[in-house]
């Protein structure tokens, strides 16, 4: 296929408008945590339900000390009706930048309609009391309004910190990309924040595309996605250049970002795909982050709660292992090793020291083998039983690891004489999730020494299966298999 043509006439025909908010590298640090608007909307809905029920319960308790059963039922029905009216009116919706779609007026209208219906129901049930019903109506409105005002205050702070901005990078600077950026420029209120444009085919003399800097090639984008906070990548290249599109998507599959294909005015045949909207335009969903919104929160809660409980339960074991290590050989009890974590970021993994201190291999340039002379007697035991991994629950509490996930590998780990990342083509794709203390590969027997490339290939295959099929149920199943048989391994030395 020929290189994508760039029509100068088309570029001249596009009016020069104020570019949608562009960003410099300094504006997009990796450690600025984004705030998910779907999660915010869900929290607002939950807060509304709690506000209506709480106001009703207080009103019934305050004014109906006796015969409270019917008013309590009315409160329950009224809260359910009010919640659905708020939902139907769109009062639980938020824009991509966190603005409420409907303010206090829409909320007041929905709540007033629910209270009117409940007043009629209370009159028919012969339990009409202006005291408790009026208290509920006023109290419910105050709590609902307070929730919205509080969220609005918090949203303003998050917006000032840039945590509500959707940061996107655009691949391509031809006609499709120009039409895309032009639309974003015309609709800046709903447009995402553009980090930059990347294009393998760009002329070296071309520094900008529609007012946005061309930061380099797709390889540079992969690097920047590990250094900066990029939420989504929009691929705006013609599908006719199938070789270029395939190469781009293969490279982006190694990064934990959403990948969207802007098809322009033509269709592409990718099989069944979902779609989403960015800046008011429909994009094809090519790839999604493995964990996002409520799934990410569920995984985080699972990790922190279980890690705290497990550390409490195994504290005697931790103390016993630490004492045994200290008695046998001089040196620190813990061994710290740099390994690859989420998005290829280096983390410091904690383990009980299993080797003589002066023979420790911080980079794991030589994997342990059977009867390894570097390993102590206590070390051999805790390695066979995986007790050396227990301090990693502290890594989980620190947010660097998960209980279940792809095992973190040392930076110089090899299969035979070949580095892991060179042995497996899509090796980095396993870093799209936090590494785990145990994982799908480990409970299926793929742990310990890797003498051949086939062994690391099988590990990576199991890791990618886990990433694509993650669920809390799968995590619990892996934890159970680890507890009842996954600690011991014939390949662990």
Per residue in 323-347, pLDDT (tens digit) is 998 888 888 889 888 898 888 888 9
Q: Does this model's pTM top 0.85? A: no
Instruction: Give the per-residue pLDDT at 16.
Output: 40
Q: In which residue ranges of the chain is CATH 3.40.50.20 found?
A: 8-33+164-287
Instruction: Give the per-residue pLDDT at 225.
Output: 83
Instruction: Give the per-residue pLDDT at 405.
Output: 92
Instruction: Give the per-residue pLDDT at 13.
Output: 35
Instruction: Give the per-residue pLDDT at 115.
Output: 86
Query: What CATH fold (topology level) applies to the domain 8-33+164-287?
Result: Rossmann fold (3.40.50)
Sign of CA dihedral 362, 366, 370, 373: negative
Instruction: Give the per-residue pLDDT at 2.
Output: 41
Q: Give the whole-angstrom CA distance, residue 232 versus residue 326.
A: 49
Instruction: Give the per-residue pLDDT at 370.
Output: 64
Instruction: Give the per-residue pLDDT at 446.
Output: 78
According to DSSP, the β-strands at 232-235 and 258-261 are: parallel
Is residue 475 exposed (0-12), middle (13-18) or buried (19+ Cβ within 10 Å)?
Answer: buried
What is the three-class DSSP state of 168? strand
Instruction: Give the per-residue pLDDT at 185.
Output: 81
Instruction: Give the per-residue pLDDT at 6.
Output: 37
Residue ranges in the chain whose pLDDT is less than 50: 1-28, 65, 98, 101-102, 266-269, 493
- HEC profile of 28-61: CECCCCCCCHHHHHHHHHHHHHHHHHHHHHHHHH
């Amino acid at each position: 296929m020929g290189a994508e043509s760039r029509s100068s006439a088309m570029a001249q025909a596009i009016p020069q408008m104020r570019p949608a908010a562009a960003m410099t590298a300094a504006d997009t640090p990796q450690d600025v945590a984004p705030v998910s608007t779907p999660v915010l909307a869900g929290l607002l809905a939950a807060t509304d339900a709690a506000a209506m029920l709480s106001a009703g319960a207080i009103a019934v308790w305050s004014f109906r000390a006796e015969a409270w059963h019917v008013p309590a039922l009315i409160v329950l029905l009224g809260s359910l009706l009010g919640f659905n009216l708020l939902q139907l009116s769109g009062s639980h919706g938020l824009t991509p930048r966190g603005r409420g779609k409907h303010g206090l007026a829409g909320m007041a209208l929905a709540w007033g309609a629910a209270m009117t219906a409940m007043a009629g129901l209370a009159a028919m049930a012969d339990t009409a009391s202006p005291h408790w019903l009026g208290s509920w109506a006023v109290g419910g409105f105050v709590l609902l309004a307070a929730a919205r005002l509080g969220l609005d205050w918090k949203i303003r702070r998050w917006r000032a910190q840039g945590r509500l901005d959707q940061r996107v990078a655009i691949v391509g600077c031809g006609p499709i990309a120009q039409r895309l950026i032009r639309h974003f420029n015309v609709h800046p209120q709903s447009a995402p924040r553009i980090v930059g444009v990347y294009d393998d085919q760009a002329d070296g003399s071309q520094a900008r595309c529609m007012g946005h800097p061309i930061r380099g090639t797709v390889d540079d984008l992969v690097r920047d996605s590990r250094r900066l906070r990029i939420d989504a990548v929009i691929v705006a290249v013609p599908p006719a250049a199938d070789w270029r599109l395939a190469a781009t998507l293969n490279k982006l599959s190694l990064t934990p970002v959403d990948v969207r294909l802007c098809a322009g005015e033509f269709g592409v045949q990718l099989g069944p795909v979902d779609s989403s909207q960015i800046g008011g335009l429909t994009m094809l969903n090519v790839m999604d982050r493995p964990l996002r919104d409520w799934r990410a929160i569920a995984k985080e809660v699972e990790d922190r709660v279980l890690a705290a409980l497990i550390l409490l339960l195994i504290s005697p074991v931790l103390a016993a292992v630490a004492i045994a290590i200290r008695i046998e050989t001089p040196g620190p009890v813990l061994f710290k090793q740099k390994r690859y974590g989420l998005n290829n970021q280096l983390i410091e993994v904690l383990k009980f020291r299993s080797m003589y201190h002066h023979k420790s291999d911080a980079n794991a340039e030589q994997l342990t083998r059977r009867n390894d002379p570097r390993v102590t007697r206590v070390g051999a035991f805790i390695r066979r039983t995986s007790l050396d991994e227990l301090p990693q629950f502290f890594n989980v509490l620190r947010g660097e690891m998960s209980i279940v996930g792809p095992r973190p590998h040392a930076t110089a780990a090899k299969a035979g004489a070949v580095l892991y990342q060179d042995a497996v083509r899509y090796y980095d794709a396993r870093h799209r999730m936090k590494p785990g203390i145990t994982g799908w590969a480990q409970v299926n027997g793929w742990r310990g020494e890797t003498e051949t490339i086939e062994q690391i290939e099988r590990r990576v295959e199991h890791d990618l299966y886990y990433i694509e099929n993650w669920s809390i149920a799968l995590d619990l199943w892996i934890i159970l298999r680890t507890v009842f048989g996954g600690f011991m391994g014939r390949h662990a030395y």
